[in-house]
Each structure stands twice: as structure tokens, then as C-alpha cells.
Amino acid sequence: MTSKRVLSGIQPTGNLHLGNYLGAIKNFVTMQNDYECFYMLADLHAITVSVNPDELRENILNTAATFLACGLDEKKNIIFCQSQVQAHSELSWILNCIARVGWLNRMTQFKEKAGSNKEKASVGLYTYPILMAADILIYQATHVPVGEDQKQHLELCRDIATKFNNDYKSDFFTIPEPIIPKSVARIMSLRDGTKKMSKSEESDLSRINLTDSKDQIMQKVKKAKTDSEPINERILALDTKRYEAQNLIKIYASLNSESPEKIIKNFDGKSFSDFKNSLAELLVEKISPISDKIKEYKNDKEQLIKILKNGNEQASNTANKTIIEVKKIVGLI
């Protein structure tokens, strides 16, 4: 086994947005040069809520196209579909028997996603973090790049791996480390700086999709909520209530790979209307080439299917080795 191995995944549930890009995919791209990387379309996670099969099929290919358009190289990484590597589901069952109900009951994402009607949520939505642990552990991943909202799931994965190792008196599973970008761990909605930018948010004005046109980007930035104060260093103070202002500064900084402090210095004393013009230009410069490439990749579905098929085979080779070992350790003959 190599010493540094990365696994991460994104659910193919719709168009990916700036939060997914800055919080996760940008890191995937950086890591491809230094690590052996497995990047997965988490399609089994996508069916924990009801989805239309035709839409799911379409979204799987869209998300694969987005990975490639953002700069993930299929020759350097293993890009694959979770549902096509059976060992994920097999390990998930075994880990279901390791994880404790009390641990799952603490998961905040389930509480948020299930909302007030928990009894009607699927069992899959509840056990979702266990499948996620299986995704990671089946590759013995050492590092997992994710946005901050997945941190709790990563901690659960570490607890499951540790309990397995203790229960079976082995050091079989590698305990993975999360990689969470500091300043952009959570990109917020353009309409409400207290909510995260999300595919599931109703208003499309709340997010920049990676498929947005130049005009859409310009319009969304123009309409983004801000406040009437000029730009100054207080924006970053911990006790600030200027959530929207803070978010826009962080987006600019992250797109330009600079610190928020530096951006504030450059725009010190300027109004948000001036800043928004520069931000819109920067977003168009960074996002438009991605959106053009997504279109190109989507036009060649056969090529996308071929890339995934190849990735599925390679991922299966590694995953199958782990599940054989796990079964032996557990006593499944």
C-alpha cells in the first residue's frame, strides 16, 4: 500500500456549485499531483432521498463531466461510480454491525435532512455515514478532502475504524485524516450568509453553478446580499455580523488563492458595489472555462462512460482485496 492515498466523493444530485468547487473539488485537483487519488460519484448516497432514475443517470454523467472539466485527470486519478464497486456495499453491512446506534443519533446532517418528519426518512439516510465510512476504509485512504459539513461524518468513520481494530485486535484499518480547507470550509448562500451554499436551496440566486453563463454570474453577484458599510478589516472579526460581506471576500480570496486579509487591504474603504464588479469579473474568468468544458465533455457521453468503466475496474481491484481480508478477520469463512 502507498503511504498517501486519497478518497473523496460527491453525490451526483444536480449541478455542482461554487461551494462544491472551492470546498472540495479545488482540493481534489491540487492533491492529484502528490497522492494516489480515488474520486467517486456517490450515487448510492444519492438514492437515500427519492430521485427520478432518468435524472440520476443524467446527473451521474454531469458530475463526471464536471470532475474532468475542473481539471481532474483520468490518467492520474481513479474516477469511478460507487454503485459499480460492490465491495462498498459489502463492507458497509459489516460496519453497520460495528457502529453504535448512539453514534448515529448524534449526526447533525441526518437531523437537518430528515427535518421534522424523522419517521418518514429512509433508513438509508440514517445509515448514510456508515456507507461513507465504508467508501473510505475500503481503500485504506489516509486523507479525505471534504468541506466542513462532512467533518462529523469523518470523525464517525475514524471511530468505526478504531472500534473494528480494537474489537478484532488488529491494526487492519488505516485511520483517515480529513483535509478541510481553512478559509473556505463553508461557502455561504449569496442570499443569506448564515446558510451554506447548497444544491438543495430553492432559490437559484443563492448559488453560482459551475454551468452558469457569464450573464447569470454577473446577475447573481449583482443581486447578492451585502450591507451598506464599506469594506474594512472589521469584516473578518469573529464578532462581526457581516456574514454576507465576509462570504464574498472569502470567495474572492479563494478564487485568487490569496488570503482574505490581503483582499480586504486591496479594497479597503471601497463600497460593495465596486467590489462586486471585480468579484463578478473574477468569477467569470475562473468559472466560464469550466462551464465551457462541462458542455464539451457532456457532448461525448460514450467517452464519459468509458472513463468511468475503466475507473470502476481499477477501484474494484483495490476494494476487492480489502473486503477479502475483512471477511477473514471477521470470521466469514
Which residues are designated catalytic?
113, 196, 199
Applying the rule CB under 6 A, the residues between 13 and 32 that interact with ligand ADP are 13, 19-20, 23-24
By the rule CB under 6 A, 78 interacts with ligand TRP: no
**Residue 190, class by beta-carbon neighbours within 10 Å (0-12 exposed, 13-18 middle, 19+ buried)?**
buried
Applying the rule CB under 6 A, the residues between 226 and 265 that interact with ligand TRP are none
By the rule CB under 6 A, 12 interacts with ligand ADP: no
By the rule CB under 6 A, 186 interacts with ligand ADP: yes
By the rule CB under 6 A, 7 interacts with ligand TRP: yes
Count the Cβ atoms, other than its own, within 10 Å of residue 179. 18
By the rule CB under 6 A, 196 interacts with ligand TRP: no
Whether the Cβ atoms of residue 139 and residue 171 lie closer than 8 Å to each other = no
Cα 178 from Cα 159, distance rounded (Å):
13
Closest separation in Å from C-beta 148 to ligand ADP:
7
Nearer to ligand TRP, 36 or 244 (CB): 36
**Beta carbons within 8 Å of 277's beta carbon, 6+ residues apart:** none
Count the Cβ atoms, other than its own, within 10 Å of residue 115. 9
Among 197, 221, 263, 279, binds ligand ADP (CB under 6 A): 197
Which one of ligand TRP, ligand ADP, none is in contact with 198 (Cβ closer than 5 to 8 A by kind)?
ligand ADP
Which one of ligand ADP, ligand TRP, none is in contact with 255 (Cβ closer than 5 to 8 A by kind)?
none
153-175 core/surface letters (b: 16 or more CB in 10 A; e: else): bbebbbbbbebbbeeeeeebbbe
Whether the Cβ atoms of residue 43 and residue 232 lie closer than 8 Å to each other = no
By the rule CB under 6 A, 42 interacts with ligand TRP: yes
Residue 135's nearest CA partner among 6, 309, 21 is: 6
Nearer to ligand TRP, 5 or 242 (CB): 5
Which one of ligand TRP, ligand ADP, none is in contact with 45 (Cβ closer than 5 to 8 A by kind)?
ligand TRP
